[in-house]
């Protein structure tokens, strides 16, 4: 990496994207740096490529009482490295308020190092359909998925954001999966799409679902209410009772021309995602004090 560019800076991550190959030392050193900054780091399990081990890490911001618990994950698909770099870069400046962040920056290290969508299987289609199943007994669950499922066992989260890049590359969009009891909530995803649009990060207008198909839930361009049956991470967390589950899809095509913009989009989207989570989860009284006019039911 270019020595003139400080480690963990967007410039350094941009270089890592341009370089093409995935050097896991970039992840190791970012995690070490964030640990020094106060994140609690847990080593979930090692995945090997030709005898060389690559750790799946989980980072947590300091615990606070009565907080919103936000889970952010990425790295399911190894050819979407900008999401992991953007997430780590976001953490460098993140200051927790009323939330605790748990982050798994690379869920599937073998695919990450290879720079491939997946090796032998698609991580984001390999979660157990039945969230209550013991992954150690379920024989068909790949090792990396097992490690991640076990790390999340027994933990409560209010929101889950899983970050991906979309090969169509036509703009940002979101799969939004809400638990039954939160269906009426003002769409966090819609706010995210609108706010990014305002800053010039266009959304993918083709992504929406017909209102006719989804009952009385309204549809918005750039937001896909998710009823996917595939065994995705988002579906698994929803089945585990997380009320707000999102898959954020960043345009992959931007990567080819402007990795700098791509990284900025990921960082900005995460800043907004956390802000919007605060808005959704602050108790009404606190929201009023803070001047948030909108409420969620
Ligand atoms: Zn993906």
Please choose, from the candidates 83, 294, 67, 87, the residue with its C-alpha nearest in 3D space to the C-alpha of residue 191.
Answer: 294
Q: How far apart are CA 85 and CA 106, in angstroms?
A: 10
CA of 252 to the centre of ligand 1 (A): 10
- Ligand 1 mean position to 86 CA, how many Å? 14
CA gap 269, 193 in Å, rounded: 9
Give this prediction's pTM.
0.90
Burial of 275 (0-12, 13-18, 19+ CB in 10 A): middle
Q: How far is the CA of 117 from the centre of ligand 1 (A)?
A: 7
Residues with CB under 5 A from ligand 1 (ion): 77, 80, 164
pLDDT (tens, 9 = 90+) of the chain, 297 residues, equals 445 688 888 899 998 888 877 899 999 999 999 999 999 999 999 999 989 999 999 999 987 776 789 999 999 999 999 999 999 999 999 998 888 999 999 999 999 999 999 999 999 999 998 888 899 888 789 999 999 999 999 898 989 999 999 888 788 999 998 876 665 556 789 899 999 999 999 888 888 765 444 444 555 788 888 877 789 999 999 999 898 899 999 987 656 678 888 899 999 999 999 999 887 776 555 555 555 444 333
Tell me, in angstroms, the distance from the centre of ligand 1 to residue 76's CA. Answer: 6
Q: What's the pLDDT at 61?
A: 95
How far away, in angstroms, is 173 Cα from ligand 1 center? 13
Domains of the chain (ranges; CATH) run 10-290 (3.40.630.10)
């Amino acid at each position: 990496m270019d020595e003139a560019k400080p480690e963990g800076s967007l410039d350094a991550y941009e270089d890592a994207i341009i370089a093409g190959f995935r050097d896991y030392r970039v992840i190791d050193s970012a995690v070490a740096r964030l640990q020094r900054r106060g994140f609690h780091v847990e080593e979930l399990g090692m995945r090997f490529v030709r005898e060389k081990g690559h750790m799946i890490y989980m980072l947590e911001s300091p615990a606070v009482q009565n907080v919103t618990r936000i889970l952010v994950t990425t790295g399911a698909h190894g050819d979407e490295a900008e999401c992991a770099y953007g997430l780590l870069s976001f953490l460098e400046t993140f200051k927790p308020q009323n939330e605790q962040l748990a982050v798994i920056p690379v869920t599937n290290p073998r695919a990450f190092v290879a720079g491939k969508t997946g090796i032998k299987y698609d991580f984001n289609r390999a979660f157990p359909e039945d969230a209550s199943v013991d992954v150690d007994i379920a024989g068909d669950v790949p090792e990396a998925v097992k490690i991640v499922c076990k790390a999340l066992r027994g933990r409560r989260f209010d929101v889950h954001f899983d970050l991906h890049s979309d090969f169509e590359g036509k703009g940002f969009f979101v799969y939004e999966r809400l638990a039954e009891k939160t269906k009426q909530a003002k769409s966090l995803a819609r706010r995210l799409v609108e706010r990014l649009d305002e800053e010039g990060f266009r959304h993918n207008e083709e992504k929406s679902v017909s209102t006719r198909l989804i009952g009385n839930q309204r549809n918005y361009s750039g937001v896909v209410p998710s009823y996917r049956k595939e065994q995705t991470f988002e579906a698994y967390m929803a089945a585990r009772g997380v009320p707000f589950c999102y898959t954020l899809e960043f345009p992959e095509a931007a990567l080819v021309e402007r990795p700098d913009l791509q990284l900025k989009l990921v960082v900005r989207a995460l800043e907004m995602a956390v802000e919007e989570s605060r808005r959704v989860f602050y108790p009404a009284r606190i929201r009023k004090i803070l001047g948030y006019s909108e409420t969620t039911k």
